[in-house]
Structure 1
Amino acid sequence: MKRRNLLLAALLPGLGTAQSQPRIVSVGGAVTETVFALGAQGQLVGVDTTSLFPADATRLPQVGYARTLSAEGVLALLPQLLLASGEAGPPQVLAQLQRAGVRVEVLDEQHRFDGILTRTTRIGQLCGREREAAQLVARLQQDWAARPKPPAGSVPRVLFVLAHAAGQLRVAGEGTSADAMLALAGARNAFAGVQGYKPLTAEAALQAAPDVILCTDQGLQAQGGADGLLKAPGLALTPAGRARRVASMEALLLLGFGPRLPQAVTELTGKLHGRAA
């Protein structure tokens, strides 16, 4: 591994002088989506497994899951630049990549709209797409200003359930992308006061007393639909469970905080304040 790193470190600077646009590995669904939105997908030589949109991203070579990267797997693609979300890691792998001559840029939007604009501008600079980034930022700002506002006086209590694996359901507390999305959609997190994701228990579900249960499309499918999800501990006895108010959205759209955020907030606002999907 050490010998290979030294060889790649020698090769990568040469690659940089041979072309003005860097060879990129993108880690993080929203980061990859932004690269595509800027028209820089031709520079991508690899992505991680969370890079699910657009569909063309899934046809690129993969370097594994964002949190468990392998330095050798990334270096095999001869990238000059690693664009990574704040969840990318582990840290020692990122350090290995830097020592091998790969430029590592960690881009965290901090679950804020302004953070998305800053990340978009920075990716544009790194990809040599400054003009496209400025245009995308302007369009995002226009779409954000035009998004519908939640109905006055309507603040539903919503419990987000992460349910991608059977028997491993977790609920979202504060400091999560789900919590930030609920706030943007004019809803109250029924699991507020708790940090991060915690295992779902019957006691927690009953105490949360949600008006709506929210999950991802993928999670709902994994549980066998609303009927399967409501078999989880305590959910059927909540106000949402008794009324069968279960809503879902595509995972990356709902939780990714990418360039489709105005669309995501608009869709989520409609689901939570109208009839659940």
Structure 2
Amino acid sequence: MQSVFFTRRAALIAAAGGLLLASQPLVADRATAAEAARIVSIGGTVTEIIYALDGGARIAAVDTTSLYPPEAQEKPNIGYVRQISAEGVLSQKPDLIIAESGAGPVDSIAILKASGLPFVSIPSPPEIDAIPAKIRAVGEAIGRQSEAGALADKVASELTAIAAKNAAISGPRKKVLFALSLANGRVMAAGSQTSADAMIKLAGGENAVQSISGYKPLTDEAVIAAAPDVVLVMNGGGTHLTKEQAFALPALAATPAGRNGAFIAMDGLLLLGLGPRASEAAAELHAKLYNGHANP
């Protein structure tokens, strides 16, 4: 069975290579974008932006991270953003595919790019300053440049205001450890160059492990040395830490967060999506950090 699967996958990739040679540049020109009526949106933030630009009715299917607005969850689902099936996407008969950068796997994305269908990859760097450009890129992809420009300007203004407000806090900043998951007794934590790091800073906090880059498992010694005041996680999901799981770990229990039971859970897309609601997420996180709500 396994050999049949890989043979079929190899055939698809080979076919994709042939299509790529024959296809035109895979850019959604403005005419195509404006007329696209069956968009497959891959990535929760891309989907959120399309809805914010009043393009939700044009979405034919979404991935599993597309949870906002709630009506997005009623669309056909083509799988997890990093485990997309090219066949599943193409079965939706899209006339435009929009994906966040980092969508995968690589072979599936190669097939989609080689299919002859307009395919747009939206840059998604883990930086607050990149959010307005992300909104404009989606607007360009779906032919809503004017609406996207207005939304991008609004969001940029909101981000400037929340950053200035949170930068003016008095007293020491809360040290926050973002825990993505728990594996083999170790916390998978967010260092620099992550969405979590960007959001913690926007909210006026300090990343307790900003000396590392990306998401890395921490040793017990590293957790204790980080000395977080608060543990931050995403809501829901089988791999996400609960408060009980977090502070059952001796290393976390020994930190200021563990001793005070300081634990915050927030909606994952809101917290990490770096989309139109980023200022809302920062305001919520700031309130939980500094207004005594970090102990649910």
If the TM-score is normalised by the length of the shorter chain, which range does it land in?
Answer: 0.7 to 0.9
Write the distance in 1 (CA, Å) between the matches of 2:73 and 2:182.
19
Structure 1, residues 91-150: CA drift from partner, whole Å, max 9, x if none?
A: 222221122112221112312233211121121122121222122123213322332324
Matches within 5 A, 1:72-91: 72-91=87-106
Between 1:228-237 and 1:142-151, the stretch displaced more is: 142-151
1:24 is displaced (CA, Å) by 1.0
Q: TM-score, normalised by structure 2?
A: 0.81
SS at match of 1:149: helix
Matches within 5 A, 1:41-56: 41-56=56-71
Q: TM-score, normalised by structure 1?
A: 0.87
Q: Would you say 1:257 and 2:274 are equivalent positions? A: yes
> Quick one: which of 152, 163, 172 aligns to 2:170?
152
SS at match of 1:182: helix
> Quick one: which of 202, 207, 211 aligns to 2:229?
211
> Quick one: which of 149, 155, 170 aligns to 2:188?
170
1:157 is displaced (CA, Å) by 1.4
Write the distance in 2 (CA, Å) between the matches of 1:164 and 1:80.
40
SS at match of 2:45: helix
Letter in 2 for 1:262: S
SS at match of 1:247: strand
Partner of 2:245: 228
Write the distance in 1 (CA, Å) between the matches of 2:114 and 2:237.
38
Structure 1, residues 172-231: CA drift from partner, whole Å, max 9, x if none?
A: 1122111111122222211122122122432221111111111112269954x4233211
Q: Would you say 1:202 and 2:217 are equivalent positions? A: no
Tell me the number of residue pairs that the alignment of Structure 1 and Structure 2 aligns: 270
Write the distance in 1 (CA, Å) between the matches of 2:148 and 2:215.
33
Measured on the aligned residues, the alpha-carbon RMSD in Å equals 2.8
Partner of 2:210: 192
Q: Would you say 1:99 and 2:117 are equivalent positions? A: no
> Quick one: which of 117, 138, 145 aligns to 2:153?
138
Write the distance in 2 (CA, Å) between the matches of 1:165 and 1:46.
32
* Residue ranges of structure 1 left out of the alignment (5+ in a row): none
Letter in 1 for 2:283: T
CA contact (8 A) 2:98 2:120 kept: yes
Identity across matched positions, percent: 40
Write the distance in 1 (CA, Å) between the matches of 2:258 and 2:276.
33
* Residue ranges of structure 2 left out of the alignment (5+ in a row): 1-10
SS at match of 1:146: helix
1:262 is displaced (CA, Å) by 0.9
Q: Would you say 1:65 and 2:83 are equivalent positions? A: no
Between 1:64-73 and 1:133-142, the stretch displaced more is: 133-142
Q: Would you say 1:40 and 2:48 are equivalent positions? A: no
Write the distance in 2 (CA, Å) between the matches of 1:191 and 1:98.
37
